[in-house]
Amino acid sequence: MKDFPPTRRARLNGASFEFVLEGAGEPTLVLLNGAGGPVEAWWRIFPDLVRMSRVFAHNRPGVGGSDPPRQAQTSAAVIDDTQALLLHAGVGGPLVLVGHSFGALHALKWASDAPAQVIGLVLIEGATAGDIRQGSIDKPRWMVRVEQALGHLSRAHSLSETAIAEAIADEVADIRSLAIPVAVITGARSGGWTTPRAFREGRAERQAGLAQLSPDGWQVTAARSGHFPQITEPDLVTDVIRQVIERAVQIRPVAAEPYS
Protein backbone atom coordinates (compact mmCIF):
# COMPACT_ATOMS: atom_id res chain seq x y z
CA MET A 1 0.00 0.00 0.00
CA LYS A 2 2.95 2.28 -0.66
CA ASP A 3 0.90 4.48 -3.00
CA PHE A 4 -1.80 5.21 -0.41
CA PRO A 5 -1.51 8.70 1.12
CA PRO A 6 -1.24 9.31 4.86
CA THR A 7 -4.50 10.11 6.60
CA ARG A 8 -5.32 13.53 7.95
CA ARG A 9 -7.29 14.33 11.11
CA ALA A 10 -10.28 16.51 11.78
CA ARG A 11 -12.06 17.17 15.07
CA LEU A 12 -15.78 17.85 14.70
CA ASN A 13 -18.28 18.22 17.54
CA GLY A 14 -15.76 16.79 19.98
CA ALA A 15 -14.99 13.67 17.92
CA SER A 16 -11.84 12.90 15.94
CA PHE A 17 -11.98 11.50 12.40
CA GLU A 18 -9.33 10.21 10.00
CA PHE A 19 -9.73 11.07 6.33
CA VAL A 20 -7.90 11.36 3.03
CA LEU A 21 -8.45 14.01 0.37
CA GLU A 22 -6.31 13.88 -2.75
CA GLY A 23 -6.43 14.98 -6.37
CA ALA A 24 -8.17 17.88 -8.07
CA GLY A 25 -11.23 18.59 -10.17
CA GLU A 26 -14.93 17.90 -10.03
CA PRO A 27 -17.04 15.95 -9.41
CA THR A 28 -15.54 14.79 -6.14
CA LEU A 29 -15.46 11.03 -5.68
CA VAL A 30 -16.60 10.06 -2.17
CA LEU A 31 -15.59 6.51 -1.24
CA LEU A 32 -17.80 4.86 1.37
CA ASN A 33 -16.16 1.79 2.90
CA GLY A 34 -17.87 -1.41 3.87
CA ALA A 35 -18.74 -1.83 7.56
CA GLY A 36 -15.55 -1.83 9.61
CA GLY A 37 -13.43 -1.26 6.53
CA PRO A 38 -10.56 1.28 6.66
CA VAL A 39 -9.74 3.80 3.96
CA GLU A 40 -6.75 1.68 2.98
CA ALA A 41 -9.18 -0.90 1.55
CA TRP A 42 -9.26 1.32 -1.58
CA TRP A 43 -5.49 1.13 -2.07
CA ARG A 44 -5.52 -0.70 -5.40
CA ILE A 45 -7.73 1.83 -7.20
CA PHE A 46 -6.90 5.01 -5.28
CA PRO A 47 -3.95 6.19 -7.44
CA ASP A 48 -5.98 5.85 -10.65
CA LEU A 49 -8.98 7.62 -9.13
CA VAL A 50 -6.81 10.54 -8.03
CA ARG A 51 -5.68 10.93 -11.63
CA MET A 52 -9.36 11.28 -12.62
CA SER A 53 -10.61 13.77 -10.06
CA ARG A 54 -10.60 14.81 -6.41
CA VAL A 55 -11.11 11.83 -4.07
CA PHE A 56 -12.32 11.76 -0.46
CA ALA A 57 -12.60 8.86 1.98
CA HIS A 58 -12.70 8.59 5.76
CA ASN A 59 -12.69 6.10 8.58
CA ARG A 60 -16.13 6.01 10.12
CA PRO A 61 -16.44 6.04 13.94
CA GLY A 62 -14.67 3.12 15.55
CA VAL A 63 -12.52 2.34 12.50
CA GLY A 64 -8.78 3.03 12.35
CA GLY A 65 -7.90 6.17 14.28
CA SER A 66 -11.43 7.61 14.28
CA ASP A 67 -13.08 7.85 17.68
CA PRO A 68 -15.70 5.25 18.68
CA PRO A 69 -19.31 6.11 17.79
CA ARG A 70 -21.23 8.39 20.12
CA GLN A 71 -24.57 7.84 18.44
CA ALA A 72 -26.24 5.03 16.54
CA GLN A 73 -24.55 4.76 13.14
CA THR A 74 -27.66 5.01 11.02
CA SER A 75 -27.28 6.03 7.39
CA ALA A 76 -28.53 9.49 8.33
CA ALA A 77 -25.79 9.80 10.99
CA VAL A 78 -23.09 8.52 8.63
CA ILE A 79 -24.16 10.98 5.94
CA ASP A 80 -24.21 13.88 8.42
CA ASP A 81 -20.68 13.08 9.58
CA THR A 82 -19.40 12.71 6.02
CA GLN A 83 -20.98 15.96 4.87
CA ALA A 84 -19.50 17.76 7.88
CA LEU A 85 -16.05 16.39 7.03
CA LEU A 86 -16.44 17.46 3.40
CA LEU A 87 -17.43 20.95 4.54
CA HIS A 88 -14.45 21.03 6.90
CA ALA A 89 -12.20 20.09 3.98
CA GLY A 90 -13.72 22.75 1.73
CA VAL A 91 -15.57 20.33 -0.53
CA GLY A 92 -19.16 21.01 -1.59
CA GLY A 93 -20.29 19.26 -4.72
CA PRO A 94 -21.15 17.83 -7.11
CA LEU A 95 -20.37 14.35 -5.82
CA VAL A 96 -20.14 10.85 -7.25
CA LEU A 97 -20.57 8.30 -4.46
CA VAL A 98 -18.77 4.95 -4.54
CA GLY A 99 -20.15 2.58 -1.91
CA HIS A 100 -18.78 -0.87 -1.13
CA SER A 101 -20.88 -3.48 0.69
CA PHE A 102 -22.54 -1.76 3.68
CA GLY A 103 -21.32 1.60 2.36
CA ALA A 104 -23.73 1.17 -0.55
CA LEU A 105 -26.67 1.51 1.86
CA HIS A 106 -25.42 4.92 2.96
CA ALA A 107 -24.71 5.91 -0.64
CA LEU A 108 -28.26 4.99 -1.67
CA LYS A 109 -29.84 7.09 1.06
CA TRP A 110 -27.53 10.02 0.37
CA ALA A 111 -28.31 9.97 -3.35
CA SER A 112 -32.03 9.76 -2.62
CA ASP A 113 -32.00 12.56 -0.03
CA ALA A 114 -29.65 14.99 -1.83
CA PRO A 115 -30.35 14.88 -5.58
CA ALA A 116 -28.85 18.35 -6.04
CA GLN A 117 -25.52 17.20 -4.60
CA VAL A 118 -25.10 13.60 -5.80
CA ILE A 119 -24.85 13.23 -9.58
CA GLY A 120 -23.66 9.63 -9.90
CA LEU A 121 -23.53 6.37 -7.97
CA VAL A 122 -21.30 3.28 -8.07
CA LEU A 123 -22.31 0.34 -5.88
CA ILE A 124 -19.65 -2.35 -5.44
CA GLU A 125 -21.05 -5.61 -4.05
CA GLY A 126 -23.66 -3.35 -2.49
CA ALA A 127 -25.71 -4.49 0.46
CA THR A 128 -29.48 -3.97 0.28
CA ALA A 129 -32.32 -3.83 2.76
CA GLY A 130 -33.43 -7.21 1.45
CA ASP A 131 -30.01 -8.73 2.12
CA ILE A 132 -30.20 -7.66 5.76
CA ARG A 133 -33.73 -8.92 6.22
CA GLN A 134 -33.31 -12.22 4.41
CA GLY A 135 -29.93 -12.83 5.98
CA SER A 136 -31.46 -12.77 9.44
CA ILE A 137 -33.91 -15.48 8.36
CA ASP A 138 -31.94 -17.81 6.09
CA LYS A 139 -28.67 -18.23 7.98
CA PRO A 140 -27.95 -21.90 8.66
CA ARG A 141 -27.91 -22.89 12.33
CA TRP A 142 -24.18 -23.66 12.32
CA MET A 143 -23.39 -20.17 11.03
CA VAL A 144 -25.43 -18.56 13.79
CA ARG A 145 -23.52 -20.59 16.40
CA VAL A 146 -20.15 -19.55 14.91
CA GLU A 147 -21.16 -15.87 14.86
CA GLN A 148 -22.30 -16.10 18.48
CA ALA A 149 -18.96 -17.62 19.48
CA LEU A 150 -17.00 -14.94 17.60
CA GLY A 151 -19.21 -12.27 19.12
CA HIS A 152 -18.07 -13.26 22.60
CA LEU A 153 -14.45 -12.84 21.50
CA SER A 154 -14.86 -9.55 19.62
CA ARG A 155 -18.14 -7.86 20.39
CA ALA A 156 -19.24 -5.14 18.00
CA HIS A 157 -19.92 -1.70 19.44
CA SER A 158 -23.60 -1.45 20.33
CA LEU A 159 -23.91 1.72 18.24
CA SER A 160 -22.08 0.37 15.17
CA GLU A 161 -23.85 0.07 11.83
CA THR A 162 -23.80 -3.73 11.89
CA ALA A 163 -25.37 -3.72 15.35
CA ILE A 164 -28.30 -1.63 14.07
CA ALA A 165 -28.50 -3.12 10.57
CA GLU A 166 -32.27 -3.56 10.71
CA ALA A 167 -32.74 0.17 11.36
CA ILE A 168 -30.55 1.00 8.37
CA ALA A 169 -32.56 -1.41 6.23
CA ASP A 170 -35.67 0.57 7.18
CA GLU A 171 -33.98 3.81 6.06
CA VAL A 172 -33.40 2.62 2.50
CA ALA A 173 -36.21 0.10 1.96
CA ASP A 174 -38.56 2.59 0.29
CA ILE A 175 -36.07 3.97 -2.26
CA ARG A 176 -37.61 3.13 -5.63
CA SER A 177 -35.94 5.38 -8.18
CA LEU A 178 -32.94 7.62 -8.78
CA ALA A 179 -32.53 10.09 -11.63
CA ILE A 180 -28.75 9.70 -11.92
CA PRO A 181 -26.35 7.19 -13.49
CA VAL A 182 -26.10 4.09 -11.27
CA ALA A 183 -23.52 1.36 -11.90
CA VAL A 184 -23.67 -1.89 -9.93
CA ILE A 185 -20.59 -4.12 -9.75
CA THR A 186 -21.32 -7.67 -8.62
CA GLY A 187 -18.68 -10.29 -7.88
CA ALA A 188 -19.42 -13.53 -9.70
CA ARG A 189 -17.78 -15.50 -6.90
CA SER A 190 -19.46 -13.66 -4.04
CA GLY A 191 -21.01 -16.15 -1.66
CA GLY A 192 -20.15 -19.81 -1.84
CA TRP A 193 -21.21 -23.12 -0.39
CA THR A 194 -21.41 -21.48 3.05
CA THR A 195 -24.18 -19.17 1.81
CA PRO A 196 -27.67 -20.71 1.66
CA ARG A 197 -29.03 -21.13 -1.87
CA ALA A 198 -32.16 -19.11 -1.07
CA PHE A 199 -30.02 -16.17 -0.02
CA ARG A 200 -27.75 -16.40 -3.08
CA GLU A 201 -30.75 -16.40 -5.41
CA GLY A 202 -32.45 -13.55 -3.56
CA ARG A 203 -29.29 -11.50 -3.56
CA ALA A 204 -28.80 -12.00 -7.31
CA GLU A 205 -32.26 -10.54 -7.87
CA ARG A 206 -31.55 -7.63 -5.56
CA GLN A 207 -28.24 -6.82 -7.29
CA ALA A 208 -30.09 -6.57 -10.60
CA GLY A 209 -32.74 -4.48 -8.85
CA LEU A 210 -30.15 -1.91 -7.77
CA ALA A 211 -29.29 -1.25 -11.41
CA GLN A 212 -33.00 -0.89 -12.20
CA LEU A 213 -33.36 2.00 -9.76
CA SER A 214 -32.28 4.36 -12.53
CA PRO A 215 -33.22 4.59 -16.21
CA ASP A 216 -29.46 5.10 -16.65
CA GLY A 217 -28.48 2.12 -14.54
CA TRP A 218 -26.46 -0.95 -15.47
CA GLN A 219 -24.87 -3.98 -13.85
CA VAL A 220 -21.33 -5.24 -14.40
CA THR A 221 -20.24 -8.72 -13.35
CA ALA A 222 -16.72 -8.98 -11.97
CA ALA A 223 -16.01 -12.50 -13.23
CA ARG A 224 -12.93 -13.16 -11.10
CA SER A 225 -14.10 -11.51 -7.91
CA GLY A 226 -15.85 -12.30 -4.69
CA HIS A 227 -16.84 -9.52 -2.30
CA PHE A 228 -13.92 -7.16 -3.07
CA PRO A 229 -13.74 -6.41 -6.81
CA GLN A 230 -11.85 -3.18 -6.05
CA ILE A 231 -8.97 -5.40 -4.90
CA THR A 232 -9.23 -8.39 -7.25
CA GLU A 233 -10.23 -6.51 -10.44
CA PRO A 234 -9.12 -2.90 -9.89
CA ASP A 235 -8.99 -2.01 -13.61
CA LEU A 236 -12.61 -3.05 -14.11
CA VAL A 237 -13.78 -1.04 -11.10
CA THR A 238 -11.78 2.00 -12.13
CA ASP A 239 -13.22 1.86 -15.65
CA VAL A 240 -16.80 1.67 -14.33
CA ILE A 241 -16.21 4.67 -12.07
CA ARG A 242 -14.82 6.58 -15.04
CA GLN A 243 -17.93 5.75 -17.07
CA VAL A 244 -20.21 7.01 -14.30
CA ILE A 245 -18.29 10.28 -14.04
CA GLU A 246 -18.49 10.80 -17.80
CA ARG A 247 -22.22 10.05 -17.95
CA ALA A 248 -22.99 12.13 -14.88
CA VAL A 249 -21.17 15.20 -16.18
CA GLN A 250 -22.77 14.81 -19.59
CA ILE A 251 -26.24 14.79 -18.04
CA ARG A 252 -25.54 17.52 -15.52
CA PRO A 253 -22.49 19.65 -16.38
CA VAL A 254 -20.40 20.67 -13.41
CA ALA A 255 -21.71 23.97 -12.10
CA ALA A 256 -19.52 27.03 -11.72
CA GLU A 257 -20.74 27.41 -8.14
CA PRO A 258 -20.37 24.48 -5.71
CA TYR A 259 -23.47 22.64 -4.60
CA SER A 260 -24.47 23.09 -0.98
Task: Answer yes or no: is pLDDT of 28 > 50.
Answer: yes
State CA 65 to chain mean position distance. 19
CA distance 122 to 178: 12
- The residue count of the chain comes to 260
Average pLDDT over residues 68-89: 94
The pLDDT assigned to 251 comes to: 85
Mean pLDDT of 42-66: 96
Gap between the Cα atoms of 124 and 227, Å rounded = 8
Question: Residue 200 to residues 105, 129, 145, 190, 205: CA-CA distances in angstroms?
Answer: 19, 15, 20, 9, 9
DSSP state, residue 180: S
CA distances from 175 to 107, 115, 169, 251, 260 (A): 12, 13, 11, 22, 22
Whole-number Cα distances in Å, 151 to 15, 19, 154, 164, 236: 26, 28, 5, 15, 35
State the pLDDT at residue 256: 39
Confidence class for position 190, pLDDT limits 50, 70, 90: confident
Mean pLDDT of 211-223: 97
What pLDDT does 194 receive? 64
Judged by average pLDDT, the poorest of 63-77, 126-140, 201-215 is 126-140
Percent of the chain with pLDDT over 70: 86
Q: Which ranges in the chain belong to alpha helices (H)?
A: 46-52, 75-88, 103-113, 129-138, 141-153, 165-172, 197-211, 229-232, 234-251
Confidence of residue 207 (pLDDT cuts 50, 70, 90): very high
Greater confidence (254 vs 83) lies with: 83
Residues 130-183 pLDDT 10s: 988 886 544 444 344 444 443 443 346 788 888 889 999 999 999 999 999 999
